[in-house]
Structure formats: C-alpha cells, structure tokens
Structure 1
Amino acid sequence: MLSPPIRPRTGWIAALVVALATGLLAAVAPAGAGPDRRTAQEAQAPRPNVVVVLLDDMRADQLRFMPRTRALIGAHGTTYTRAMSPHPLCCPARASLVTGQYTQNHGVKSNFPPSGGFPALRRPGNTIGRWLARDGYRTGWIGKYLNEYRNEHGRQRGWHTWQPLVRNLYTYKDPVFYGDARPTPGYVTSILRRRTDRFLSARSKRPFFLVAGHVAPHGTLRGGRWVPPVAAAPYTNAYRKLRPSSFRKPSYAERAIDDLPRDLRVKKPSRRYLRGYARGSARALRSADDAVASVVRRLKRTGELANTYVVVTSDNGFLLGEHRIVDKDVLFDEALDVPLLVRGPGIPAGATDATPVTLVDLVASILDWTDVRPGRRIDGVPLDDTGGRDTILIQTGAQTRPTALMNGGWGYRGVTTARYLYARRAGHPHQGLLFDRARDPYQLRNRYGDRGYRAVQRELARRTAALGQCAGAAGCNRSFGAVPEPTADASTGSLVVEPALATFASRAAYPDPALTSAPVGDPSLVRTGRGTVLVATGTLVPRARWDKGRGWRWTRPALRRLPSWARAGGVWAADIARVGKGWRLYYSAPVAGLGKHGRCIGVAVAPSAYARFRPGGKRPLVCPPRAKTPDALDQVPGGTGLPKRGIIDPSLFVDDGRPHLLYKTDGIPSSIRLLPLNGRGTAPAKGTRSRELLRSDGVIENPVVLRYGDDYVLLTSEGDYSRCTYRETWRRSSSLTDWSGAVRHPLLSRRSTDGLCGPGGADVLETPDRTTLWFHGWVREGTTRPPKPPFWFGHRGPRARRVLYGAVLRMVDGEPVVGRWLG
C-alpha cells in the first residue's frame, strides 16, 4: 500500500537562474490570489563554460585508475553508470560528439576511407564549435580530433583555438600539432595538459567551450603493430601486479564461439599480452587523471569552477579478451560501455544515474546548458531528459574496403534495450547477434536464429529498421513498448522481467491541463469526504475544490492571515493534510533577515479542509537561526556548508502513524531534510531534530515520500523551475533516513510528456480506487499550449503561467510508473 497522500512544493531558484523580474510575476497572478510563482533574484547569471576531457578506448571499469577524477568530478557531480558509445570506434564516435548525430546522418562509419575518417564527415565546417562560437563562446579543440585529419584539410571553422594532433598520435611522445613544422618534445598527455591550462588561463569576458582530446589509454603503435600504452615517468612501475578485470569473467577467452558470426571468431589472446596491456592502460590513465585534476585546479584559480560544466568520458570502450577479442568496434557491452562523469551548475553532487544515455545525448546536453541553437538536426536528447526511450540504436562500420563498397560501409546494425542486445551483420542476413542479458549477462550464448526467440528477434529487427533511418530527436528517441517474451522453445533459465519504464503510452501530442481557470504552481491535493481540495503558491495560499458533477472551482484562500513572525509577501508551496482529527496546512512564508526572498516554514490548523486555517504559535516551525524571527522550533544547524538562505517546500509524510515533515533548504547547494513531528503535527517530536537526507550542488526540491511494502520511494523536482527542462525524478530506499545509495531515475520530463514545459512540483493523491499524480507545467498565456525551448520565464519566450496536470500513477515492482492522462 502507498502511504497517505504526501505533497511536494516547488523549490525556487534553479542552478542557472539568478534573475526574474518581480513585475512580471504580478502580471501572471490570478486575481485576488497573489503571484502564481515565487520571485527570483534580479541579475542574470553569466553563461556557463564547458570543458570536455575526452579519453580514447577507456573501458567503463577503468575509472578505478583515476582516483582524482572520481574525487573531483564524481564526488562533486553525477556518474552515469549506463553511458554508452552507440558506434564504438574512435572516428565515428568523435564525429557524433562534434555533430550530435548518429552515424547514418554524419556519414563517418569507420576510421578510414572510403566510408570513414575525417574525409567522410558531412559538412565538416558545421560542428558544435561553430555553433557555440557563433553564439559568443570562445572555443577550443586541443588534442586528438577525427582520424585521418591532416594539415591539408585546413583549420576548421568555429574554433578559436585549433590545436589537433596530426602526427605521432599513438607513439605517446613528441606529437605534432596542426600547423607545426616540428614535433613538440615530451609525453603527449603532459603536453596536452599544459596547453589546456593555457587555454583556461586566458583572460576573456566570453564564456568558453573546450575539448581536450587525450590519447590515453589507447594502445601504442610500434613497428606497424599495437603494443601496450606507454606510461609517463612517474607511473612506469605502477600496477606491476595488476590482473585485467576481464580475467574474472566467464566470457574471457570464451571456449565455444561457434554460435558467433564468422568474422567474430578469433584465436585466444595471450594472457601475458593482456596483462601488459591492462597495466599500460592503467599507467596511462594516471597521467590523464592528473590532467583532469589540473583542469579543476586551473578553473578554481580563475574563479570559474562554480560556473563550468566539466565532463569526463571516452569515445568507446574496449575488450580485453572477452569473447577472445582485444579490440573495439564490436557490439558487445564492453565496447559499448563508456565512463561518463559530469559536474557543474545544477548537477547533483555525489550522485549516480543509471539512465541509459549516449555520447549523442551529451551534445544535446551541452547545447541545453549553454542555450545554443545547433546548426544541424540533433539526434540526441539531454542527459536529464531521456524520457521514456526504451531502445537505443547501435552500429559498426565495415573494416575493409571491399565490404565497405558492398554493404554501404556498414558492419553491424542493431539496437539495445534494458534486456536485449541485437544486431544483424550487413550483407549476411543469416548472421547476427542476439543476447538476453536477463538469462545471459556475460553474453555467452548467441540467440540469433533461436526458434524460441523468433518473436523477440522480429521485434528488435523492426526497431532497428525504424531507428536505422531516424533523423532528429523525436525519431531517434522512442518508446516502442514491451518486447515479446521468449517462448517455451527457448532453453530454460531464470528469466528477469525487463524493468518497467516510467513512460506514458504513445500519444500524438501533449495532454490538456486539468485546471486552467487560474494559475496553479506547486500543487498540493487531498481527498475529503466530500471531494478534493487543492492548494497552491500565492497570496494566503490560493485554494480550489473539486466536487462530483461540478468540477473544479476556486474558493477563499486557505490561510486566514500571515503569522506574526512573517513579513508581507506571497506564500510558497503549501501542503495540506489531515493529522489525527484535525487538518494542518504547512507553508513557507517570507521573513526578514534572510534576503529578499527568504522564507521559513509555519503550520496552521483548521477543523476542516474547507475552513480558513489559523497560524499556530508565535514561532516558525522550521527556520534558520539568522532569520529575524522568534527562535524556530527546529533550526538547521550552522556550519553545514549550505547557503544562508531560507527554508521552503514542506511536505508531510505519515509513517506507521508517526508524522514527519520533509523540507528543502533554499539556495545552491540545496538539501532535503526530515523532521519527526509530534502526534498533532504541530511541533518537533520530543528530543528530535531534523536530519539531512540528500544534498545537491544544483536544485533539488519538492520532496514527496511514498511507502511501498518495506521500501520508500522519494519523488523530487530538479533543475530550473522557470525553464522547460524542469523535471521530476524518483529514488528508492529501504530506509526513510538513509538515501545515500539510492539511484536517481527520471519520472517526468518534457520528452516523456510529449512536450510539456517544465513538468514538476508533483504531488500524489491516493483514493480507494486509484493513485494519481498531479503536477504543474508552463503554458502560453491565454492558451493551453506549452512554450517551446529555449523558453525561460521572465527572460526569454512568450508570456506564460503554470497550470495543473494529472495522470494515473502505478507502482510496478516498486517503481513508480506514470499511466494515462487525467483531463
């Protein structure tokens, strides 16, 4: 069973918003209800910088050899544990990173002509560097670019600093950069680090975008053959006893390979060679780790760290003997999986995200962070807005000139889902790959052509045909629904059902709002014996009621007056709930001493949800000690590293009859805290204080807790509430007070809702027949149509206001799943 209804309220200022005009807020307020949204600060923040540290052939599990990166980027940002390179080879992957497109659209299918290398890139002057430079950014590319790029190809358009490697890339020593007549003496990673530092130290009023393309941990080319990577002097003797992680896998030096296509059947590799390769890679990565630390140190010295997105990733993964292969450009998980760490404004700190994302999505994210329009049709979606996508296109190119000419340059083309990996070999319709990760996590048994998997294979082939021709975000990021189950003809084994995806059923357009007669921000809903009551952000808490046969209608504001400790202003994010035999209204009221928008939480009481609530007591329920109010019943401890701001977003949760109050500490970083309450819900429980549950370097707000069996599900809103990228997420934990290991998952976003702008501030309403989810989103003033990005309320785009949306909410295997719309 779910717990009694628990409510969230939208927190206010997002990572990239520093200004919203107060007059604009009044312009969109409902008559007699005050502003529909909370006021924001008055000066616009500077545009963010972006630094991408791009590694070469780094496996996802090799992140352990970069301790400084994990400490400086991972601990202060988000690690994406299911990031992948959809075309796992150097040049096609890098082409995707400069275009934001899949291979069929940018044209680079391999590392060498006729179907690959830099000459195959379509419109080479139309890349992300040019798009950002055109929009006022100082841009730079330092290090490895696309394979086969030479001096004769000329300086590429849009890059103010253009220093790609053109010779001696894989010797690790004395590289030659574009335009240089002679090599630059030294170890390549150290040289790239110094050049990167010079770029970051340059004085300029413009924001910057930089890609540092490292060679590590790619193999070394010596005498026409590949040998282990070369280490820098400090690390030549490191990891002398390291064993490759592949040695511990059942897929290492796989015995039975007759079920694989002929071109994937190779001889077993030398264990000695693999040990040397793994150790060389680890040593090379330590130098790259130093380069990442140097980036962070330089940004800190220049004062730009807080306003810079730092990304660490690789162009593809690498197999170290799995399935006997020592290579990339094959469609096994070890080649597809790449590390991806991101820190920056609004990125949750110390978080892990298991959402499947790709390098193509990274480009869409950079454009989203910088608010820049692309010069191409982008195939990816932002990392935090993948919505209900359940299938990702994967592919490789032909390895030889004859096959490139015969098969259009393709090697394998297929798709991956949470459960299956499928690919068909180009020109060989009876050869391909089909792995069932639920039964076979190490991909030891190829099910391609298996009679029991015929329906599965047909469905995945259909998806490959659809995505293989896709262009643009809408066509390349789709939810196809469930894959058929294997039949009884398949060999027995323990099947794991593919996880339910938080996605809406397919629709042709965005849904209609449930309530539009007045603005609704930060909705909180509760069921009564007579109907449903809603409260929202505004003057004295605007209130509406829903009755069968009459629908929604606005009534008197819920709060009779502001408490004595508050100053004049709008009330934010109220939460209405029944506690015992009475009703409680938790709200965020403005106070003195915390800046223009500082607020503290109070509680008001009433005998009915329809009555006027009276503020209780002469002190706030929760407030920082620096506020100019009587001491609050609970105070956030000082010295916690949080900004000196207010307390907002109260949300009541009743666990086994004991009430708890969740709330948000405002500002950046932000946090979610939990306060046990007494049985009446009016004061802290005896002998208790609030404790921190989560903290984010960006904005995390609107906490709502659901109970499912022995577990808890926490809903939160994240991002800038005044933009279309605002979204709702969820986490699951077995403990109400420990969320340290909980993984964040998407629930609502612009993409998953077919175009709603800024869906968030969600609340859950439980009735005997169903559970529903209610949330707000932006619409253009006078219409029910959402504005389109780059909308930014009060700054860019049309006049707009927030309205109420509803949907059915189901719990499937402990995961919240959003169902049909409620109009």
Structure 2
Amino acid sequence: MADNVLWIITDDQMRSTLRTMDRTWRRLVQKGVRFRRGYAAMPWCGPARASILTSRYPHDHGCSTNMTHPPFVEQGLDRDTVATRIRAAGYDTGYFGKYMNGLGTDSGYVAPGWGRWVATVGNDGKVNVDGRVRRLDSQQAADRFAADRLRRFLRRHRDTGPWFAVYGPSIPHDPYTPTPEHRDDFDGVEWDPPAFNETDMTDKPSWLRELPPLDRARMRRVFEGKLEELQDLDDEIDRILAVLWRTGQLHRTWIFLVSDNGYLLGEHRLFRKEQPYEESAGIPFVVRGPGVTPGVSDALLSQVDLMPTALDIAGLDPDAGRALDGRSMLGPLRTGDWSDWRRRLLVENTNLGWAMLREDDGAYVDHHERGEWELYDLAADPHQLASRRDADVSRWADRLARLRQSNGLALRTLER
C-alpha cells in the first residue's frame, strides 16, 4: 500500500518555540529530521498558504495581500494544487482547519481536490463542513471540531488508503486563549532576546531607524500566550499520532510540520511578521517518515518544497503539466544525502517590495522598492545586529534579481 501524507501547518509559530512542545518533540521531532534553515516563501499567512498549496512563489502566484482567497480563485489557481493532483492519483484527501485568509468572503466554498472539507472560516467559530457552514461557540471550538474530524478521517482509513490530509490549527495566532489546563503553564516567562529593541539601528533601512522601542511587558505577554496555546496544540498532535499508531498507520505515514510564518516580538523594534529577519521569515520545519534517519539538517528548505515532495511520495512526476517552483525532498530524506540540494534560496514579500537571498551563511535583503539593502553573516551575527554596509553586494543583487523574476525549472536552475 502506498504511503500516506499528513501536513501540519501552524499559524504564526517561531522556530524557537518548537522545543517547548514536549510530546511533539519526543514523538515527531526526535523521530524525524528537524531543519534549522526552513523558510516561508513569504512571511505572511495568506500568501504563504497559497505558496504551500501550489508550489509557486508569491511573484509567481500573484496573491500579494492577506486577502488571498479571492484572487487565488479568480486566477483559477485552486484548480491546480497539491490536492487536485494527488487526488487524481487515487489518494483520498481531507482538509481540516484554517485554509486561506479571505475565505470568509465565500464561506460556502469547497476547494477542488478535497474529498473531505472541514475548513474554519474567519476567527469567530464558523466552520465549513463539505460546503455547509456551521457556527460553533468560539474559534477554539472550531479548531477542536476540525481536529476531531481529522482523527475520524484517520480512523476511517485504518484498512484503506492511501490518503493525504492537512491539519491547519489557528494556533498560536492571536488572540491567545489557551485552555484552562494550560493557561498558567508559562506565567512569568522571561522575554529578552539579543535583538530586542535593537539599540543601534543605523545599519537598518531608513524607514526602520526611527521606530520607537516596543514595550517589553507587552511582548512578554504575547510570548506567554503563544507558548501556552502551543501546549494545547501539543496535546492535539499527540492525539493525532496516537490514532495513527493505534490504527497501524504511523509506520507508513509521512508527517510534515511547518508554520505559515514566524513572528517578531520586538526584535529590531518590530512586531508581528512580514519582515525579512530570521524571527519572521524562518519557520519550524520537521519531517518524519518511513525510513527517515532522525537528525538535524542545515539544508535550505522552503514551503514550496512541500507539494513536490507529497506528489513524489504518491509516485507522481511533480512537474507533470506545470513545472513547480519547489523541489522534492524525498530522495535526500531517504538517503540523508543533501549534497546535491539547492545552494541558495529565495524569500520575498511582494506586498512590501523586498526579497531575500539565503546562501551559505549570508542573508542579503534587497528592498527593491526603496533602493536599499542589507547583508548579514549569520554565522558571525545570528541576531542580525550589524549589516555589512561596506560589502560589495553586486553578485548578491544580480542573483536575487534573477531568482525573483523566474519560476519553475528556470528558478530551480538558478538555485544551484
């Protein structure tokens, strides 16, 4: 029987918080590969989710704002996604949880390719069950409902398959409302990252230099809320893994854990996401699967790699019909050999007009709409406190410009 595939896509989770999820760490992270250099295609919820579903970078799919669903459908992008392709290969499919920002404008919508559709709509407790909208007591209730329906989906496939499912909790997105069981787990947790309210901003783009310092107490409260909500998610992931184990499916299921974007809590005097710094653009990225040797990797990964990998697992040619922007991880995951993987990676924000090139230890950011740039050596300066203003960036600028104007095979060739 062919292998199953499960994607878990969290909402606004920083890489650093993964270690606080003890059950997930023990049962998923330590049984798989954790990637220290996983990135969002664009660190903003809606455009990132469009990239995940289509393996297109934002400059390729054209959905540049967080009201992503309407232009995504208007362009017909929903007719060629990981779901439409893998379902055509005989996989049963199910979506459970947050789908894409802007779904509330068309709350009865069911995306093509999904055999089971349990999508939360907005943040007020509505959930779309196969086209029929139900209203529950709260967003938390809607999230629990989606997780429960995912477990039912998994149990139903005890002796059948293969299947592909996505679980998209709204955790740890604000507002933070952990359950009573966990609402005091991180009371008083400290928040003092090295880049918090960065003192010397003269190396930053001009628009950042006059930003006021942020309130540490407020940032600490947000951090506390995120960590406490993540304990609820830790419980849900534990229950999902338990169902897979009890039904004899865990050994033939590939599990991918990522987030749509990271989150800034006062680093460089910035709050939330959308920015090219590691706290915002970097995401947790974990893969557990049959035959995968547990470990930690420094391979450069993007959300656009999820779709080609799932299709490859299903025995499909990822580039059949349309060459994808991402590349399949399946071979390196099985062998542990990443020596032939990409050497450089694009991250961008087509709404704010910046693009970033990650290569070796370097992070070059071109604010092409403003005519400014930044360059960091992340080995010597992991917190991005001192841009190398005296560097010659012509090579970086040329490579990045070509990447952000390419797609498919041409883009992947430039990564080498």
Common fold: TM-score over 0.5: yes
1:86 Cα deviation from its structure 2 partner: 2.9
1:464: which partner in 2? 400
**17, 41, 47: which is aligned to 1:86?**
41
Change (3 A) 1:164 1:264: farther
1:587: which partner in 2? none
User: When you count strand as a share of all residues, which structure comes out higher?
Assistant: 1
- Distance in 2 of aligned mates of 1:76 and 1:261: 41
Is 1:95–1:121's contact at 8 Å kept on the other side of the alignment?
no
Change (3 A) 1:152 1:293: closer
Which amino acid letter does the alignment assign opposite residue 53 of structure 1? I
Change (3 A) 1:354 1:439: closer
**308, 313, 316: which is aligned to 1:372?**
316
- Distance in 2 of aligned mates of 1:252 and 1:119: 39
2:28: which partner in 1? 73
1:153 Cα deviation from its structure 2 partner: 7.0
SS at match of 1:76: coil
Deviation sequence 1:699-736 (CA, Å, 0-9, x none): xxxxxxxxxxxxxxxxxxxxxxxxxxxxxxxxxxxxxx
**317, 329, 332: which is aligned to 2:277?**
332
1:638: which partner in 2? none
2:245: which partner in 1? 300
Moved more, 412-421 or 282-291: 412-421
**430, 435, 454: which is aligned to 2:376?**
435
- Distance in 1 of aligned mates of 2:109 and 2:407: 29
1:183: which partner in 2? 135
Change (3 A) 1:199 1:166: same
- Distance in 1 of aligned mates of 2:263 and 2:74: 24
- Distance in 2 of aligned mates of 1:199 and 1:215: 20
Is 2:98–2:169's contact at 8 Å kept on the other side of the alignment?
yes
Is 1:392–1:477's contact at 8 Å kept on the other side of the alignment?
no
Is 1:140–1:159's contact at 8 Å kept on the other side of the alignment?
yes
Q: Does 1:211 align with 2:166?
A: yes
1:322 Cα deviation from its structure 2 partner: 0.6
1:85 Cα deviation from its structure 2 partner: 1.2
Q: Does 1:352 align with 2:296?
A: yes
Change (3 A) 1:439 1:297: closer
Deviation sequence 1:354-388 (CA, Å, 0-9, x none): 21211112222212222123453211112325725
Change (3 A) 1:153 1:176: closer
SS at match of 2:96: strand
Within 5 Å, which residues of 2 pair with 1:739-758? none
- Distance in 1 of aligned mates of 2:144 and 2:238: 12
SS at match of 1:275: helix
1:423: which partner in 2? 365
1:414: which partner in 2? 356
Change (3 A) 1:367 1:234: same
1:752: which partner in 2? none
1:393: which partner in 2? 346
Tell me the matched-pair count: 401
Is 1:53–1:313's contact at 8 Å kept on the other side of the alignment?
yes
Change (3 A) 1:181 1:101: closer
1:129 Cα deviation from its structure 2 partner: 0.5
1:91 Cα deviation from its structure 2 partner: 1.2
SS at match of 2:78: coil
Which amino acid letter does the alignment assign opposite residue 188 of structure 2? K
1:149 Cα deviation from its structure 2 partner: 1.8
Is 2:126–2:133's contact at 8 Å kept on the other side of the alignment?
no
Change (3 A) 1:180 1:276: farther
Q: Which runs of 5+ in 1 are unaligned?
A: 1-45, 221-228, 399-409, 481-823
Which amino acid letter does the alignment assign opposite residue 148 of structure 2? R
TM-score (norm 1): 0.47
The Cα RMSD (Å) is 2.2
SS at match of 1:312: strand
Deviation sequence 1:405-440 (CA, Å, 0-9, x none): xxxxx52023111222112223322x2222232443
Which amino acid letter does the alignment assign opposite residue 215 of structure 2? S
Which amino acid letter does the alignment assign opposite residue 77 of structure 2? R
Change (3 A) 1:180 1:243: farther
Is 2:376–2:387's contact at 8 Å kept on the other side of the alignment?
yes
1:149: which partner in 2? 103
SS at match of 1:234: coil
- Distance in 2 of aligned mates of 1:235 and 1:473: 47
2:190: which partner in 1? 243
1:314 Cα deviation from its structure 2 partner: 0.6
Higher RCO structure, 1 or 2 (CA under 8 Å, sep 6+) = 2
Who wins on radius of gyration, i.e. which is larger? 1
SS at match of 2:24: helix
Is 2:95–2:117's contact at 8 Å kept on the other side of the alignment?
yes
Runs ≥4 residues deviating over 6 A: none
Q: Does 1:363 align with 2:307?
A: yes
- Distance in 1 of aligned mates of 2:74 and 2:397: 27
Is 1:53–1:212's contact at 8 Å kept on the other side of the alignment?
yes
2:335: which partner in 1? none
1:267: which partner in 2? 212
Is 2:108–2:133's contact at 8 Å kept on the other side of the alignment?
no
Q: Which runs of 5+ in 2 are unaligned?
A: 333-337
- Distance in 1 of aligned mates of 2:166 and 2:253: 13
SS at match of 2:366: strand
Which amino acid letter does the alignment assign opposite residue 137 of structure 2? P
SS at match of 2:228: helix
Change (3 A) 1:60 1:373: same
1:389 Cα deviation from its structure 2 partner: 2.3
Deviation sequence 1:483-542 (CA, Å, 0-9, x none): xxxxxxxxxxxxxxxxxxxxxxxxxxxxxxxxxxxxxxxxxxxxxxxxxxxxxxxxxxxx
Which amino acid letter does the alignment assign opposite residue 233 of structure 2? A
- Distance in 2 of aligned mates of 1:378 and 1:325: 33
Is 1:108–1:120's contact at 8 Å kept on the other side of the alignment?
no
Change (3 A) 1:390 1:116: farther
Which amino acid letter does the alignment assign opposite residue 433 of structure 1? E
User: When you count helix as a share of all residues, which structure comes out higher?
Assistant: 2
Identity of aligned residues (%): 29
- Distance in 1 of aligned mates of 2:299 and 2:152: 35
**63, 66, 77: which is aligned to 1:123?**
77
1:445 Cα deviation from its structure 2 partner: 2.0
